[in-house]
Structures are given as C-alpha cells and as structure tokens.
Amino acid sequence: MTYKSFSDEQLVEFLKKGNTDAFAEIYQRYWFKMYSVAYHALGNKQEAEEIVQDVFVSLWSRFSELEIRNLSVYLIVAVKHRKTNFIKSQINFRKFQEYQILHEIQQSYFTDDIVDFSDLAKAVEEAMKKLPEKSAEIFRKSRFENQSIKDIAQAFDLSEKAVEYHLTKSVKVLREQLKSYQSTN
C-alpha cells in the first residue's frame, strides 16, 4: 500500500494506530518544511535538525494521545514551540555562564582590593554625612536606589530642576571629599 496518495487526515488516523508507514510518509512530506522553519529561526543546521528530530520523536511517542486537526499546522507550531524553548534554554545557559564568570572574577580579587573597597565604602558614608540631609537622601535615591529624577521630585514635592540641583551639589561635595580615592589616569 502506498501512503503518498493519502490525505494528512488519513495519515493521522493510521498514525494513531501505530502505523510506521504512515509515520514515514508524514516524515517525508514535512521534514524539509519543518527543517526550513527551524533553520531560518536559528541559523544553525545541527540545532535545526535536532529540533525537527525532537518533534518527530514526540509525535511518534505520543501518537495515540494526540488530537491533530491540521497536520501541517500542528508540525510547524511544534517546531516553533521547540525553537522558542531552545532559545530560552540558550539564554538561561548564557546567563548561567555569565554568572559563573562574574563569580570567578569576584573570587579572584585580592584581599587588598576587598579592603580598599571597604575603605572606599566607609569614606563614601562619611562624605554623605557632610551633605545636607535632603541632598543626601536625594543622592541615595538617585544613585543607590536607581530612582528617576521625576520619581524623586514627586516623592519630595520638588521640581525636577531642584532635584538636579541637589544631585549636582552632592556630586561636587563627594568628589571633593573622596579626592584621595580618584584614579590618576
């Protein structure tokens, strides 16, 4: 029996009964289209092939429980879904690698560097005490809490220009107080 003449709907019915010839025909009809979609999105032949392979493995292993109305749409959506999951996993893997690199860099600091940073942090706190209370609070919200000038202005019931004035004044005082920590280059 040749399966080339059967419709997608008929092939799905045969597939639900575990018919390997129907599965082979589905593979022949759609593998290139699926591969093209995956390759276009990823730009990598091996990754595209793996995604198509995963979709077909899933199709075969779950044939009896699948409800497929339109085979072509089902397979393309499955490829797109796997592609999205693959990209997400790559992003998470890269984030993890970046975390490991950052952690290694942090661990490689010498004790002197840690002590210098600790000294600098103390010096910043001492310099902040020399600022007027409102200026110090505005500076903290801007630089340490990453709040916008607009948000700070609303919180303190000030104009944005007034917030900018406090920040400028604070930076000048801190620059003067922390002169010994500034690099010479």
Q: Cβ(171)–Cβ(178) under 8 Å? A: no
pLDDT at 29 over 60: yes
For 113-138, the pLDDT digits (tens) are: 555 667 777 877 888 888 888 988 99
Q: What is the pLDDT of residue 1?
A: 65
**Residue with token string 């020399």:** 130
Mean pLDDT score across all residues of the chain:
83
pLDDT at 142 over 80: yes
pLDDT at 109 over 80: no
If we measure between CA atoms, which residue out of 55, 19, 64 comes closest to residue 37? Answer: 55
pLDDT at 183 over 70: no
pLDDT at 100 over 60: yes
Domain-wise residue ranges, the chain? 8-105, 110-181
CA–CA gap between residue 175 and residue 166 (Å, rounded): 14
Asked if the domains at 8-105 and 110-181 fall in one CATH topology, the answer is: no
Q: What is the pLDDT of residue 54?
A: 92
Q: Cβ(39)–Cβ(79) under 8 Å? A: no
Please indicate whether residue 1 or residue 87 has the higher confidence score (pLDDT). Answer: 87
Please provide the CATH number assigned to the domain covering 8-105: 1.10.1740.10
For 37-48, the pLDDT digits (tens) are: 999 888 889 999
If we measure between CA atoms, which residue out of 40, 167, 181 comes closest to residue 117? Answer: 181
pLDDT at 185 over 50: no
Please provide the CATH number assigned to the domain covering 110-181: 1.10.10.10
Please indicate whether residue 120 or residue 141 has the higher confidence score (pLDDT). Answer: 141
